[in-house]
Amino acid sequence: MICRFLVCLLLLSCQILLAFALTDSGDVAALNSIKSSWKNLPPNWKGADPCGNNWDGINCTNTRVTSIMLAGQLLEGSTFSDISSLTGLVELDLSNNIGLKAILPPSIQNLKNLTTLVLIGCSFFGPIPDSIGSLPRLVYLSLNSNSFTGPIPASIGNLLQLSWLDLGMNKLNGTIPISSNTAPAGLDKLLLAKHFHLSNNQLFGEIPEKLFRPDMTLIHAIFDNNKLNGAIPSSIGTVQTLEVIRFDWNSLEGPLPPSISNLTKLQELYLSNNNFSGNIPDLTGLDLLFYVDMSNNSFNASQVPEWFSSLQSLTTLMMENTKLQGPIPVDMFRLPQLETVKLSNNNLNGSLDIGNSYSSNLTVDLQNNSVTGFQQQANYTLDITLADNPICNGNGATEAFCSVAKVDSSPLPSSRCRAVSCGRDEVLSPNCQCSHPYTGILHFFSFSFSDLQNLTYYNILHGTLMSQFRARGIPVDSLNLTNPTINMYSYLEITLQVFPSGKDVFDRTSVSTIGFVLNRQPFPVDYFGPFFFIDEQYCCLSGPKKSSNVGIIVGVAIGGSFLVLLIFLAGMYALRQKRRAKEAIDKSNPFASWDPEKESGAVPQLQGAKWFSFEDLKKCTDNFSESNCVGSGGYGKVYKGSVGSEQVVAIKRAQQGSMQGAVEFKTEIELMSRIHHKNVVGLVGFCYEQGEQMLVYEYISNGTLRDCVTGKSGFRLDWNKRLRIALDAARGLSYLHELASPPIIHRDVKSTNILLDNNLNAKVADFGLSKLLGDTGKGYVTTQVKGTLGYMDPEYYMTQQLTDKSDVYSFGVVLLELMTARAPIQNGKHIVRLVHEAMGDSKDPQSLDEVIDPTLGSASKLSGIWRFVELAMSCVREAAAERPSMGEVVREIENIMEMAVPPNKQMHHHTFVETADDESPLRSYGAAETESEGFDVSYGSFPFHVHRQ
């Protein structure tokens, strides 16, 4: 009886609960499914009622989930389909979750109410599904900075409400889709679109005449860094709303259409690095034009165009290498706004006269012309470079204007706080508080200025961002804008640090709201074009870290506006002191703004890489004693030491003569600090002090693969372990090629650059020779072929075209080494030839017995050996194009390993195994195997070798 009563009560209360649950049951199921398949979701995703319980990042209308805002939450996941079940969704922002590695499934079309889809800076891959064209309400679509491949679906042309289309920074190929009789959809149908951002893909073919129509409302046509060819269609002149055009870094040709001069709203015109021919068009009347870059084209030889002196808004004229000849008109320096005139590598001659009315902030670059004289040498004040002109060839060569401008430091003073030392991971805010800022880089597709020292611009940006954050109620104390640079794609990058107010960390909602504000960008900023924001993974989502001196305020509490004024005045003063500090920022000491000792406190959160003082490192290596030296090479020595709380590190100390330039060193650190993968040796930090350059890496205890394979390190690797090592190393390389941002070519893959930790996990080391994989596809023409004999890709050697396939070749050699234990070149014979000859035509594993490492036993007993050798041989094919990609190599090794796993241990296999996926079943199998064999960790005393040719 009592029992029945209790059951009744229970049922009743369940019903009551159900009656009060606010969330649609389908949505609850979908969210729970996401919860079980994604990692790092907010900890308050608990209970059965997401809307009622205010799950972080979820907003509801009535019972339906209508918005998901989870930008910058370090989410990891490999499927998107559960999102497609949340059919009430209106807004979805998952940007800056690099651990989301999934395809966009066709089922995304279920999200019929979606207006906003922001997936910037994740790792989505595969094609953009055609069904994306079935989201009739979509206004804002940004898939920037992912790894999408394949063509732009023409169906996007069905999104008639679309205002913002950003597909930039992906690997899309194919032509620009337009409508036709047979295909009714195309980008030409997007009459409400204001933004086409298609930069940095592999789009090819001509820009269709039909793409541009007078009834469009396009303001930004951004197509740079693709492989487009043909001419710019004349129809572009009919889109009267256009403000920014970027066609630079393509293979466009032919004359520029005169209709461009009809675009009276045009502010920025980027046409550099194409093959345009014909005459330079007359841009008279484009009175809003700020920025023109036509450098590196094949125009007809001409004089400096006269229209140039009539453009009253112009800040920047870039006409490098455009066959300009004749005298330099004095009028050109009179424009009041002018900041930069770059006319280097032309044929300008005569005597330079700059007149006496020019902006005091003007920079003029006339390097490599035929200028023979310079009037007013005595009292000119502008920055001018005449190096490589006849005037500088004679006795005048010591004149200031004959040297290439030297530059001292970053223009943006970050704070004037009295010296305060913050906790190790903390940063001093402009308001003199130590806290954990949310940090990342703003990437501007376009900008209307070139004087990166001019604080006016940053104050405008600062003000706009601050008021946007405040309007959204985010507790922001202050912002820091530092390190403005123009990157290799001619984008302006500015590092943004957002400091929390009240607490020393931001909560999850604040982080995602900041991300949304920045990447959804509902606001324009004067002088700055559209941008996207890529964050550094935020340190502190899982709650506040213990921190020493939170909220120290030094001196009087200064009112915000007064502080801004103070900073501004200080900046002006600094600028006066540094007249010549322009253009090429931070050449002499790029670390000035990083230095914790130099009161600015703006040590960057380099994604974990720390700044070490010389004293720190000296102490932890016992004054760089010989006993701590664990390796050496041409660059210097490697020391073992421990830093912080017992972390063992390998410190690579450059010796005199092998130091890099400061800028190169900084670039290398920035690059390496972004690399985080368990199969790549991680950078822990660096030291740049007292004339020393040191890189601090995690210490890898078991030495090099070479030593292990040859038995030099004292233990033997069985076949399964070799397969696993091959897989690890392949994953590390595949990460560098396909997932690192920007992608990286290692350039020196070899068995001594693959290190083994004490669980025999392989890690790829030493990308001292690495190059960014910039211009994807076209190959990277290097000036100097580098690499190691025996591992070097013959095609790269001959053509100097470096591609990721060069690493694949070297990796193929490593695979052969792994199975034969022979050096790549032994007794004058290359390992590739040796194995090839042994293989013969038989397809019989036994034929490999003469080359296989004798400690492995007979080849016919090694499961998958034939597929393995075929894989290795495909990697070393002569033609780079016929070699597999590292991603394909990873998948094939996984397949081979499944064959090698005894059937009873065989496990379910993901269709899309991704390289950084810790949960990969194969991976856990490998680990279990190591443990079950009781692998002796005491082997972990082998020296850390870093060899560098």
Ligand X SMILES: *[C@@H]1O[C@H](CO)[C@@H](O)[C@H](O)[C@H]1NC(C)=O
Handedness of CA 18, 24, 28, 30 (dihedral sign): positive
Nearer of residues 113 and 753 to ligand X, judged by Cβ: 113
Interface segment toward ligand X; rule CB under 6 A; list 64-72, 485-493, 708-716, 867-875: 64-72
Binding residue for ligand X (CB under 6 A) from 173, 179, 310, 710?
Answer: 173
Pairing of strands 438-444, 531-535: antiparallel
CB 115 → ligand X: shortest distance, Å? 10
By the 10 Å C-beta count (0-12 exposed, 13-18 middle, 19+ buried), 624 is classed as middle
The span from the first CA to the last CA of the chain, in angstroms, equals: 85
Which residues, 6+ apart, have CB-to-CB distance to 399 below 8 Å?
377, 392
Tokens found for residue 893: 């090794």
Applying CB under 6 A, which of residues 564, 575, 592, 663 lies at the interface with ligand X?
575
User: Which residues, in sequence order, are bridge partners of residue 103?
Assistant: 125
> Among 625, 821, 634, which residue's Cα sits nearest to residue 711?
821
The footprint of ligand X on residues 397-416 (CB under 6 A) is none
d(CA 196, CA 168): 9
* Residue window 233-252: x/- pattern of binding to ligand X, with contact defined by CB under 6 A: ----x---------------
CA distances from 172 to 178, 185, 203, 246 (A): 16, 18, 6, 18
Q: Which is nearer to ligand X, 51 or 762 (CB)?
A: 51
User: x/- string (CB under 6 A) for ligand X, residues 83-112?
Assistant: ----xx------------------------
CB 336 within 8 A of CB 360: no
Q: Hey, which residues does 714 pair with through a beta bridge? A: none
Binding residues: 652
758 forms part of the interface with ligand X (CB under 6 A): no
One residue of 64, 443, 637, 945 binding ligand X per CB under 6 A: 64
Counting contacts by CB under 6 A, is residue 359 touching ligand X?
A: yes
Q: Which of 21, 65, 69, 856 binds ligand X (CB under 6 A)?
A: 69
C-alpha dihedral over 887, 889, 895, 900, to 10 degrees?
-140
CA geometry: angle 63, 64, 69, nearest 5 deg: 125
Residue numbers 812-841 binding ligand X by CB under 6 A: none
Q: Which is nearer to ligand X, 87 or 710 (CB)?
A: 87
Q: Is residue 498 near ligand X by the rule CB under 6 A?
A: no
Identify which of residues 87 and 464 has a Cβ nearer to ligand X in the complex: 87
Q: Of 453 and 693, which CB lies nearer to ligand X in the complex structure? A: 453
By the rule CB under 6 A, 113 interacts with ligand X? yes
Min CB(234)–ligand X separation in Å: 7
Amino acid at 101: K
- Establish if 262 lies at the interface with ligand X (CB under 6 A): yes
Q: What is the dihedral of CA 879, 885, 889, 891, to 10 degrees?
A: -140
The least CB distance from residue 361 to ligand X, in Å, is: 4
Quick note: the x/- pattern for ligand X over 315-354, rule CB under 6 A, is ----------------------------------------
Which residue do the tokens 């664990």 mark? 630
Catalytic-labelled residue, pool 248, 616, 748, 766: 748
917 classed as catalytic: no
Cβ 369 to ligand X shortest distance, Å: 26
H/E element, 268: strand 268-270
> Could you say which of 259, 370, 628, 930 contacts ligand X (CB under 6 A)?
259
Work out how close the CB of 142 gets to ligand X at its nearest, in angstroms, rounded to a whole number. 17
Scanning 407-454, the segments in alpha helix (DSSP H) are none
Nearer to ligand X, 64 or 822 (CB): 64
Which residues 6+ apart lie within 8 Å of 872 measured at CB?
Answer: 812, 815, 816, 819, 835
**Interacting residues with ligand X between 442 and 471 (CB under 6 A):** 454-456
Sequence-distant (≥ 6) Cβ neighbours of residue 660 within 8 angstroms: 654, 668, 693
Cα separation, 168 vs 929, in Å, equals 43
Question: CA 677, CA 727: separation in Å to the nearest integer?
Answer: 14
Per CB under 6 A, does 361 bind ligand X?
Answer: yes
Alpha-helical runs (H) found in 275-351: none
As annotated, the binding site for ATP includes: 652
Looking at residue 851, the DSSP 8-state letter turns out to be T
Taking CB under 6 A as the binding criterion, the range among 256-264, 440-448, 605-613, 781-789 that sits at the site for ligand X is 256-264
Stretch that binds ligand X, among 61-69, 322-330, 391-399, 730-738 (CB under 6 A): 61-69
Q: How far is CA 430 from CA 72, 461, 495, 529, 598, in A?
A: 23, 16, 14, 26, 14
User: Which CB, 582 or 945, lies closer to ligand X?
Assistant: 582
Q: Per rule CB under 6 A, is residue 483 in the interface with ligand X?
A: no
Of residues 149, 421, 459, 776, which one binds ligand X by CB under 6 A? 149
Which residue in the set 30, 34, 41, 67 belongs to the binding site for ligand X (CB under 6 A)?
Answer: 67
Among 258, 355, 661, 840, binds ligand X (CB under 6 A): 258
Of residues 235 and 369, the one with the C-beta less far from ligand X: 235
Catalytic residues: 748
Residues engaged in binding ligand X (CB under 6 A): 59, 64, 67, 69, 87-88, 113, 149-150, 173, 237, 258-259, 262, 359, 361, 454-456, 572, 575
